[in-house]
Amino acid sequence: MSVLLHACCAPCSSAIVECMLRNGMKPTVYFSNSNIYPQQEFDIRKHELMRFLEVQQVPYVEDEYDHEEWLATIRGLEKEPERGSRCSVCFQYRLTHAARYAQEHGFHLLTTTLASSRWKNIKQIDAAGHIAVEGCPDVEWWDMNWRKGGLQNRRGELLKQNEFYNQLYCGCEFSMR
């Protein structure tokens, strides 16, 4: 089964990719993160993810980085707290890009590593995923809770084992505070 996995970073992706491979799935990782600021942070996260996926022999696809477009999309929500409206709009933006890619390239299932973070609201992520696939009739949102089944612990193990860079904020400049 081929799955398009929207990914935010190597630490959040590692246990999920490992789980998918172990269960006979064929993930393709889609890196769509125009929210990440600054560009240097984006590049570090991207290269860490690519390093991991190369070893796993998992295909990697990168969306165009357009932080200015992302800023325009969340305009007016800059002062929202984490898990607030800004995050919902951000998730929709990134997952809509992923859903379009999935539709155009024959992926039936779409899911995200965002659902692995204990710092994120899983209901927000799932709502954004369902909205993202609305315009993509051939794509189904897979609302998997990637925190369960020991994956959170395995994430920590893989983080140490692979010596991943582990960011200290979600990605956007507004989550830095």
Q: Could you tell me where the beta strands, DSSP code E, fall in 101-148?
A: 109-112, 140-141
Contact 2, 107 (CB under 8 A): yes
Sheet containing 2-7: order of strands: 60-62, 26-31, 2-7, 109-112, 140-141
The reply to whether 172 sits in an annotated binding site is no
Q: Is 19 annotated as a binding residue?
A: no
H/E stretch holding 31: strand 26-31
Binding site for [4Fe-4S] cluster: residue ranges? 8-9, 87, 90
Binding site: residue ranges? 8-9, 87, 90
